Amino acid sequence: MTEIPAAAGTRRLVNSLCGMCATHCPIQVAVVDGRATWLQGNPNDGGMGTSLCARGGAGLALQDDDERPQTPLIRVGARGAGQWRAVGWDEALDHVARVLKEVVAADGPKAIALSDRGGDFSDLTRAFVRALGSPNYFDHDVACARNAHHACRSLFGRGRGGFAYDIRHTRHMVLYGRNITESLQVKEARDFMAAMAAGARCTYVDPRVTGTACKATRYWQIRPHADYALNLAILHQVIADGLYDRAFVARWVEGFDALAEFVRPYSPDWQAAHTGIPAAELRAFVDEIAADAPHVIFHGGWNTARHRQSFHVSRTAYLLNALMGSIESPGGMLVAKGAADVGRAGLNSLAAGIPQPADPRVDGAGTTHPHWDPAAGILHRLLPAVAHGDPYRVRAWFAYRHDPLSALPDPEAQLRAMDKLRLLVAIDVNWSETAWQADVVLPESTYLERANILALKPGPRPAVHMRDQAVAPRFDSRPAWWIFAEIARRMGAGRHFPFDRIEDIWAMQLEGTGLTIEALRATGVVALADKPVYFDRADGLPFKTPSGKVEVECAALAAAGLPSLAPYQPPEPLAAGSFRLLAGRAPVQTHAQTANNPLLAELAPDNPLWIHPGPAAALGIADGDPIEVAAAGYAVRSHARVTDAIHPEAVFMLHGFGRTVPLQSRACGRGVADQRLQVGLLDRFDPAGGGIAYGEAQVSVRRVPQ
């Protein structure tokens, strides 16, 4: 890409953060005559260079896109009929506040919920929900990595954000469907490539051959959802051969003997029947990784996978890091440091100053479900509350930077529940599927048109990141901080948001930190330590479990009646003629949110169904043939991509397609939405991890006439 040529004006570079995915890479925006003309990585951050991924590069196309909501809208027709009244901000926000007050009068403030994309700026949304007096803040993560988060927390007392993988310096990384080069974060992908160039090994485990599989030194085409069997056998072999880090285990692992006893039956020969991985290959792998320890990573995963035992896939991966002594070793799994860990004052929090609401969370996280982290909740448990008042009624739902109808399974079932709401508000930069069904749509300014609250990114070298406004909004949109503050004011909670400008919020966040707005503006990113900080592995590892050690047996799980060491359960048998439906990300799309981006829609216009040549031949399906994919009463047309890059028991499609919003002319009706094929799975979840088991969808496939 080349920069849009500037006319005569002055070019300035604004340091900011990318908004094309939730990674929020540091960027620089060239602005000429008030117009953004060029985007690049912010080299001040180290490790990023000036690189962006394709999605980051397509930010200007989002900015220039007219097919996004341009003013606040109030629904006037039936839900989803696309009849709106364009209104000014005062009218929209007055309307929202009026209905919220009715909801609060009838059912109390706990009847308000908000779901968002979590992450760097969630202090704002947490503060908003708390200021209204509700405990029901949720992030999106039940459909992403909640199982991994809870697995990590159950062992170390800190969630997955409490660690960072030192990929750049690793000698061997084991990736279970972690498609680092395509489902990517720029810095991590660069670190991966650098490590591989420096001779690192990568064992990549996935029923599908991905770009990362092609870069790996070993690829195992595992049977779908069999990773727990693989990990149990790796643990077995590591312990049987005495290849674990004895000093680390003696100092830091509580319950090692129980673990050794538990994995005894799970031999390499046993796992072969479940995973399809030959026992001899597993043994060779174990010798290799033990030789590379402690500079090794077993990735706790994301898509690892979304089924009812995936908590234990992640838990055993994290346990393997402990056994290899990779925790806080260079090239291993490092503790992510916050400001206090490096002797600095952290950002002041908006939410922390607001009293905790007295009501319990609607999902029972932290109460009836003591092993679920109450900080971000279990979003799919909101649906029974909305639909049937179970355990109490929720009547108002804010979907901010979150599209539940794309991100949770079975949108039809969700819509049936949403229909019971008094108020569904979507705050988005695009026409999300949820915005189209909402009562009120509030357009947020895009990331180039607004500033956000400051973010502290923990890591070996924690840093404060600033998203600054580069250009003026093109339409009648507003930044989130303003929208939430204005609603809070109308609800009588304005004292918690005494801000008129983003600089007021930044000044509050920075007070006492020794950092200044000017210093952040100058570079975009300010690290809180000169170099990466390592804790003392002999005595200084900050596990937050009751014993201060890695706990094989987790008390919170026991309190919930769940085993810490669960026997292997093979996945549900495949119904005759069915396949397991796997889904994943396109390298040039972000979930469902960029499907209508003019540049990216051109690069990834469609999502054919990957199917193995064996079953395809049996079904009379040739490459490119029109097909029907069906699940539990729902059927949709697609076309086949016949390839042995997918396991014969599975089919695969990219997520994010099959959009239904008519105003998205480039995306509407193109491809297939995997979430629509996940019929009935909204209620199926891993009881330990809380994550939705939508990976368990089974579909049938048949050839149809052209």
Interaction site with ligand MGD (CB under 6 A): 19, 21-22, 117, 140, 143-144, 176-179, 183-185, 205-208, 210, 222, 224-225, 227, 302-305, 400-403, 406-407, 409, 427-430, 432, 444, 447, 582-585, 587, 589-593, 652, 655, 674-675, 678, 694-695
The reply on whether position 56 binds ligand SF4 by CB under 6 A is yes
555 — phi, psi (to 5°)? Answer: -65, -35
Choice between 18 and 627, CB closer to ligand MGD: 18
Q: Do the Cβ atoms of 110 and 136 come closer than 8 Å?
A: yes
Nearest Cα to Cα of residue 349 among 117, 146, 512: 512
* Site residues (vs Mo ion, CB under 5 A): 144
Query: What's the min distance (Å) between Cβ of 184 and ligand SF4?
Result: 6
What's the CA gap between 109 and 91, in Å, rounded? 22
Q: Give the residue ranges of DSSP H helices in 453-538.
A: 480-490, 502-510, 517-523
DSSP 570: P
Residue with tokens 């538990």: 262
Minimum distance from residue 36 beta carbon to ligand SF4 (Å): 14
Minimum distance of ligand SF4 from residue 250's CB (angstroms): 40
In order of 23, 103, 185, 397, 532, the CA distances from 336 in angstroms are: 16, 41, 17, 33, 10
Q: Which does 52 bind (CB under 5 to 8 A by kind): ligand MGD, Mo ion, ligand SF4, none?
A: ligand SF4
**Do the beta carbons of residue 298 and residue 292 sit within 8 Å?**
no
Binding residues for ligand SF4, rule CB under 6 A, total: 13
Least gap, CB of 568 to ligand MGD (angstroms): 14
CA distance 134 to 107: 11
Judged by beta carbon distances under 5 to 8 A according to partner kind, the member of ligand MGD, Mo ion, ligand SF4, none in contact with residue 18 is ligand SF4
Q: Are 194 and 223 in contact (CB under 8 A)?
A: no
Does 53 interact with ligand SF4 (rule: CB under 6 A)?
yes
272 contacts ligand SF4 (rule: CB under 6 A): no
Nearer to ligand MGD, 685 or 694 (CB): 694
Q: Which residue, 52 or 144, has its beta carbon nearer to Mo ion?
A: 144
Contacted entry of Mo ion, ligand MGD, ligand SF4, none for residue 24, CB cut-off 5 to 8 Å set by kind: ligand SF4
Minimum Å gap between C-beta 14 and ligand SF4 is 15
What are the backbone angles phi and psi of residue 271, rounded to the nearest 5°? -70, -25
Burial-class residue 127 by CB neighbours within 10 Å (0-12, 13-18, 19+). Answer: buried
Contact flag: residue 18 with ligand SF4 (CB under 6 A): yes
Task: Identify what 56 binds: ligand SF4, ligand MGD, Mo ion, none; CB under 5 to 8 Å per kind.
Answer: ligand SF4
Residue 186's binding partner among Mo ion, ligand MGD, ligand SF4, none (Cβ under 5 to 8 angstroms by kind) is ligand SF4
Q: What does 303 interact with, of ligand MGD, ligand SF4, Mo ion, none (CB < 5 to 8 A by kind)?
A: ligand MGD
Could you list the beta-strand ranges (E) of 598-673.
609-611, 626-631, 634-642, 650-654
Establish if 25 lies at the interface with ligand SF4 (CB under 6 A). yes
Q: Which of Mo ion, ligand SF4, ligand MGD, none binds 439 (CB below 5-8 Å, type-dependent)?
A: none
The single-letter code of the amino acid at 334 is L
| Using rule CB under 6 A, residue 661 touches ligand SF4 | no
Nearer to ligand SF4, 513 or 594 (CB): 594
Q: Which is nearer to ligand SF4, 45 or 227 (CB)?
A: 45
Q: Would you tell me the crossing angle of helices 256-263 and 227-240 to the nearest 10 degrees? A: 110
Using CA atoms, how far apart are residues 206 and 212, in angstroms rounded to an integer?
A: 10
User: Least distance (Å) from ligand SF4 to the CB of residue 593?
Assistant: 10
Shorter beta-carbon distance to ligand MGD: residue 393 or 402: 402
Angle 247-248-253 (CA atoms, 0-180°, nearest 5)?
120
- Least distance between ligand SF4 and beta carbon 548 (Å): 36
Sequence-distant (6+) residues with CB within 8 A of 594 are 20, 55, 58, 62, 600, 656
Q: Which stretch binds ligand SF4 (CB under 6 A): 47-55, 227-235, 242-250, 341-349?
A: 47-55
Q: Which is nearer to ligand SF4, 187 or 371 (CB)?
A: 187
Strands (E), 42-192: 73-75, 84-86, 112-116, 137-139, 163-165, 172-176
- Return the residue matching tokens 């929090």: 349
Tell me the CA end-to-end span of the chain in Å, nearest whole number: 38
From 48-56, 112-120, 465-473, 540-548, give the range in contact with ligand SF4 by CB under 6 A: 48-56
Residue 134 binding target from Mo ion, ligand MGD, ligand SF4, none, CB below 5 to 8 Å by type: none
Dist CA 369 CA 364 (whole Å): 5
Please say which residue, 42 or 329, places its beta carbon nearer to ligand SF4: 42
- 690 contact, one of ligand MGD, ligand SF4, Mo ion, none, CB 5-8 Å limit per kind: none
Q: Which residues neighbour 358 within 8 Å (Cβ) at sequence distance 6 or greater? A: none
Distances (CA, A) of 243 to 173, 286, 320, 326, 443: 17, 8, 11, 13, 56
Q: Nearest approach, Cβ of 327 to ligand SF4 (angstroms)?
A: 26
Classify residue 301 by burial, with Cβ atoms within 10 Å: 0-12, 13-18, 19+.
buried
Closest distance between ligand MGD and the C-beta of residue 356, in Å?
Answer: 25
Nearer of residues 221 and 513 to ligand MGD, judged by Cβ: 221
DSSP 299-356: ---SSS-SSTTHHHHHHHHHHHHHHTT-BTSTTSEEEPB-TGGGT---PPPTGGGSPP
Q: Which of residues 183-212 bind ligand SF4 (CB under 6 A)?
A: 184-186
For Mo ion, the closer CB: 408 or 565: 408
CB of 279 to ligand SF4, least distance (A): 38
> Which residues are bridge partners to 426 per DSSP?
399, 441
20 binds ligand SF4 (CB under 6 A): yes
Tokens found for residue 338: 């916050």
646 is a site residue for ligand SF4 (CB under 6 A): no
Positions in the binding site for ligand SF4 (CB under 6 A): 18, 20-21, 23-25, 52-53, 55-56, 184-186
